[in-house]
Amino acid sequence: MILLETVNLRKQFGDTRACDGINFVVNEGEFLSLVGSNGAGKTTLVNLISAHLQPDSGQILLAGRDITFMPVADRIKAGIARSFQIVNLFDGLSVFDNVALSIFSREGKAVKMASLAEHDYEVRRETVEVLGEFGLSSKTEIPAGGLAQGERKLLDVAVAYALRPRLLFLDEPTSGVSTHEKAQIMDTVSSVVRGGHVTAVVIEHDMDVVFRYSDRIVMMHEGSFLADGTPDEIRANKDVASILLGAPLAT
Amino acid sequence: MKSDIHSLRERSLLKLVAAAALILLILILVPSLVGTYQMQLLIYGLVTAIAALGFNLLLGYTGLLSFGHSAYFGIGAYTVALVVQHLGPHSMEIYILIGIPTVAIVSALFGYICVRHTQIFFGILTLAISQVVYSLVLKLYWVTGGSDGLRVPRPSLLLGLLSFSGPRGFQQFVTSYYYYVLAIFVVCVIFMWVIVNSPFGKTLQAIRDNEIRARFLGIRIRRFRWISFLISGTFTGLAGILWVPLNGLTTPDVLYWTFSGEIVFTALLGGFRNFTGPIVGGMVFTYLRTYAVATTEYWQLLLGVVLVTLVLVLPTGIVGALAKVGQSLKGKS
């Protein structure tokens, strides 16, 4: 079943066409990787779908419903969550509170001011559970600003995941960490996401990671889709290879 | 693991309650030890602490620096004065019952305008609005008394149960009023403590730390800032309501921007990143100011030196510095 569909989505910055009529389809339950060189338009596409940017034209449909101009808060309620390329956490708050906030917000409890946050045992239980899934159980009371980079990356995903989205966008969940940690992070993220039956779209540069974890790979180049297929199909695609190797296209 | 965290939290909460109870006990016993003048100073200290506590919900927890909190303090004070003048009752409860909704409505209105911006733009907007209020109060002298201000006679307390007249009336009033303000102060502290530790308070801190991420948790940022502004302004307004019967008079001075500056100073002095910072700041500032004024006519210069020293040496304020010392002591032992 198609979960998300964009129809002829366009976004231009000056003369640069960051998204040049994108028709993007995400099927329910898949783990999809969005690849391409820097400036290919991957992050712009995610920004458009997550309402961080408004498109110039085109349509975004979530499960058939038009969400093109839906505000951020409603889009999150509709089931779209995202993490950020540069880690984006609440550094002054504890690891626990970072995740708990997602749950408070999702449950519409963020406005409650007459009771202590820590006395909401339902939220506590779920927070502990999510932190456990992401392997952060021993860090709950540390301020998020005090975590190591790899843990920060995981927490960033956990905060988005705790919103229990239908569709989760992860913008470079493994950037800025060692190769060894990359595998650990992706193992954790993919097992949690698959276990939770969440559809995920991951922007990633490391092709080893991409080939290993994805069900489907979409490659972008200069604002358009260049290739779309299973890891094996993408491996066999000559255009993809030439771009990855930095060679000019054969066209 | 989970229960460990739990008991750790419970223990720190217990410690907090014990410390608060000890301080409260001292504050209750103080009147039997000191004279009327010291008690007056203590009341001013408590009132300043309430104002700063409100102010700090915006600065410390929401990350918005208001340069116009004099407006809410002043509107609180003037509301009481106008109630006295036009409606006549001399009852503190009536002042509070009319004053709080008035300040809340004004805070909601001004806040709605101000929270459309952040950072320096927010600060300038709050400053501008407070200066407009100041000018209006100064110019509309037939309503507000202009620069002469308005007199507020001694009210009765507890629905007229306690009234104060006769030769010892003032002393009796100060003693009773001290306990009255202390009780309200305690309620305010508990109220604010619950707010900053509630899901709402945590959400404010999230907005303070990272606005974009907060938005992508589905939080309606502006609405939260607005509610925070409303509560903040109302607290500071309540301080104004409590201040005016003791002062006996309200003048446009309490609406002027320098008074907003003093509220900012108070929060910085105590430490705006700690819950108790504004409370300590309010007390210390009241004494500092009083003795500075008594010692030198250049008292503002003296406060200026304190402020510069504070920013350079103790950026986290008195409470922040004490907490650091406490932590390093704990680390050594």
B 194-213: CB under 8 A from A: 194-195, 197-203, 205-206, 208-210, 212-213
Cβ pair B188, B238 in contact under 8 A: yes
Q: How far apart are CA A109 and CA A171, in angstroms?
A: 27
Q: Please name the member of B197, B213, B218 whose beta carbon is closest to the beta carbon of A89.
A: B213
Residue type, A152: R
Check pLDDT > 80 for residue B332.
no
Residue type, B72: Y
Residues 6+ apart with CB under 8 A from B136: B144
Q: Digits of tens for pLDDT over chain A (251 positions)?
A: 888 888 888 888 888 887 788 888 888 889 888 888 787 888 888 888 888 888 888 888 888 888 888 888 888 888 899 888 777 888 888 999 999 999 999 888 888 888 888 888 888 899 999 998 888 888 888 888 888 888 888 899 999 999 999 999 988 888 888 888 888 888 888 888 888 888 999 988 888 888 888 888 888 888 778 778 787 777 777 777 777 766 555 44
B2 confidence band (pLDDT: 50, 70, 90): very low
Can you give the residue ranges of every domain in chain B?
34-255
Residue A98 confidence (pLDDT): 92
Q: How far apart are CA A191 and CA A80, in angstroms?
A: 19
Segment among B163-172, B251-260, B298-307 with least mean pLDDT? B163-172
B8 confidence band (pLDDT: 50, 70, 90): low
Residue A248 confidence (pLDDT): 55
Query: What's the ipTM?
Result: 0.84
Residues on chain A touching B198 (C-beta within 8 angstroms): 112-117
Q: Please name the member of B1, B205, B220 whose beta carbon is closest to the beta carbon of A90.
A: B205
Tell me, what DSSP letter sits at residue B153? P
For residues B103-123, average pLDDT: 91
Q: What is the Cβ-side half-sphere exposure of residue B80, based on CA atoms within 13 angstroms?
A: 34
Cβ pair B222, B64 in contact under 8 A: no
Residue A95 confidence (pLDDT): 92
Torsion of CA B69, B71, B77, B81, to 10 degrees: 180
Buried-exposed string B103-119: b where 16+ CB fall within 10 A, e elsewhere: bbebbeebbeebbeebe
Q: How far apart are CA A196 and CA A242, in angstroms?
A: 36
């080939």: which residue's tokens? A211
> Between residues B12 and B223, which one has the greater pLDDT?
B223
For residues B238-248, average pLDDT: 93
Phi and psi at residue A6, to the nearest 5°: -110, 140
Q: How far is CA B5 from CA A141, B11, B50, B82, in A?
A: 8, 10, 32, 52
Q: Please name the member of B195, B203, B209 whose beta carbon is closest to the beta carbon of A92.
A: B209
